[in-house]
Structure 1
Amino acid sequence: MKIVYFTHSLASCWNHGNAHFLRGVLRDLIRRGHQVEVLEPQGAWSLQNLLADHGEAGLEPYRAAYPELSSTEFGSDFDPDRALDGADLVIMHEWNEPSLVAEIGKARARGGRFTLLFHDTHHRAVSDPDAIRAFDLSGYDGVLAFGETLAEVYRRWGWENRVFVWHEAADVELFHPPAAEQAREGLVWIGNWGDGERTGELEQFLMAPAKAAGLSLDIFGVRYPPEALAMLERYGVRYRGWLANARAPEVFARHLATVHVPRRFYVTTLPGIPTIRVFEALACGIPLVSAPWSDSENLFRPGQDFLFARDGAEVERHLRAIQNDPDLRESLVRSGLETIRARHTCAHRAEELLGFVAQLNKTARPAAQQLITETV
């Protein structure tokens, strides 16, 4: 099967978490014998920021880890018929421009002999629904939503049984425990500051407990404004800047534990959706403590795969226990790895994707329709 994926960027993971998941899934599809082509717009802001900060050297970890992957940039002379020639499956990520989304939908509606899916991996459907409604999805066959609560939004918008829950997962070829254990110390957190929507949570569930437990804290990520850096300095945090995702396993391997602090939308409005860092951390065999969120889809075994904390004081207690109890560390690592390997690898998600396509192809193609613009 020929698969064409329209992404924001495959090469850059600078503030672009979908690249993590996409790389692992596409690598698995290639190894299953499928032909994969990745298209991305010229001047993608993630790639431009990466190159501005780190130059071509910033791309080397990705290239070394994924030699079988490549992408083609397109510009104003983009020819959709040429790009889609021979395609069996086309997937459009929601970080693309509405004009491109509409253009590919029209190509499908004109009789394109491929299955066309829209891939949503963000909270904009609830945080900024007008931005999603700006997309003309009338020519699309289905939607891939990275959580059940997001899928339910699309069902309310009229997609019914044409929306599929497609969670992110870990690329276990890259994300795995170190071949040989080394000395571990301190706490690590890998994440972007973003728009300040979880400033209080990062202080309450990460910085303050780490300091209270006497653990050093290394933070990696981008988009940290001066006020964020000042907060890190007050807590004695070592800010390390951007980290290529392909290097995350070696960083996890040097630390005693990590913490999951979900963005506020994934606690309040879209519960049940963990970030990809949860899957990747557990796959690397590092004990994890999580701030509150609702595992409404039973993706994990809270208390076994990782430790939930209701407040900062409980995070501190968990961190002290992990620091002082080798048996607890071993148990968390073993359980977390077991769950990832059984249910949450990119190979699992590739298999799910092929199943979704088969399911759509078994039924008559529904008439094209516009999204229903009701209030979320």
Structure 2
Amino acid sequence: MRFTRLLFPRAIALAAAAGLLLSSCSSPSGSSDVSGTAAVADSTKAAGAGPAANSPLQVVAEFTDPQMVGVAVAPGGKVFACFPRWDYNPVYPIAEVGPNSTLKPYPNASWCVWNDSVKSEPLKHWICPQTVFADKSGMVWVLDPASPGLKFTVPGGPKLVKTDPKTNEVLLTIPFPESVAPRKSYLNDVRIDLQNNYAYLTESGLGALVVVDLKTLKSRRLLDKHPSTKAVKGLVIKAEGHPMIDAQGKPAQFNADGIALSTDNAYLYYCPLTGHTLYRIKTAALRDAALSPEQLAQQVETVGEIPASDGLEIDQANNVYLTSFEQSALLRRTPEGKIETVAKDARLQWPDTYSFAADGNLYVANSAIHKTPNWNKGVGQPRQPFRIFKMALPK
């Protein structure tokens, strides 16, 4: 998911008090495992209902703080979570999730450190990771837009990192030049095309797609002037009926965000979060560097109208799954264009990111973005814990 370049009030306070842009995420206790449980009872009650009757969702893990936005499940069954440096300075921005909601730094504790002592090595540390994604071969990728507080990128910090969850080794680090990830950019989500050896990304700060040749490690910024990657101006999106309007009275303008790769790798689906339209483009066109911006724009297809959505994914039957934060629901769009409800549950407070597991389960994380201070006149609202859910993938 996630988002626009906003430094939340809490982040401002943290920056002044603790140097958010270069702060440490090492554990005060020095322990390699920390617990993310112990949700405050009053907060949970104030946030509303528990599970819906006959809800298919099972809680895998839950965390009171810091804010979680993403989940990935590797083919071997390991679960990973992503905690960006937005309002808080997480101990482990990327973590392996263990029993009882415990967290282990991933790939190791050194990668989780970001402070003055390591500021000369922005490519060797998580600065503000936004996405963790498991590809079909079992590798885990982390996309780090390197923009703490969602304000500006740290020079030399934006990167895509390939890791092996079996060995906890970093296999590949791909830096993005400022021409691809400008200072006001926010690289958001990624999908890996193993057939053509490419990565496809959304960039939500300014609005664009990014493609990466995984053989040459060269990247290109595309469709950064096209309306398909831009928020719909004037549209006020809502979550649980709450209008997403900032303290200055401006509606949230979230650009290209959700992304999904078709099963045959032929099409990339994407959507701006502030919008109700699903788009797609042939991946062959994205890989063709000979196409002019005008020629590439002609390849963009409008798939159809959808509810405002954050995360996207596609199953083997080419159903496009949508996280509907407006409805606290998980939806899917059939190839025929029918929108179906997969799960509706009050605990889905801003469902954010999907992950399909090899065992047939669908995982999803909720990030409760609408409860944060920026969208509530500077005052964070009571909320339930951040949770990772799973359910059997519906037929």
TM-score band by shorter chain is under 0.3
When Rg is computed on C-alpha atoms for both structures, the one with the higher figure is 1
Whose helix proportion is higher, 1 or 2?
1
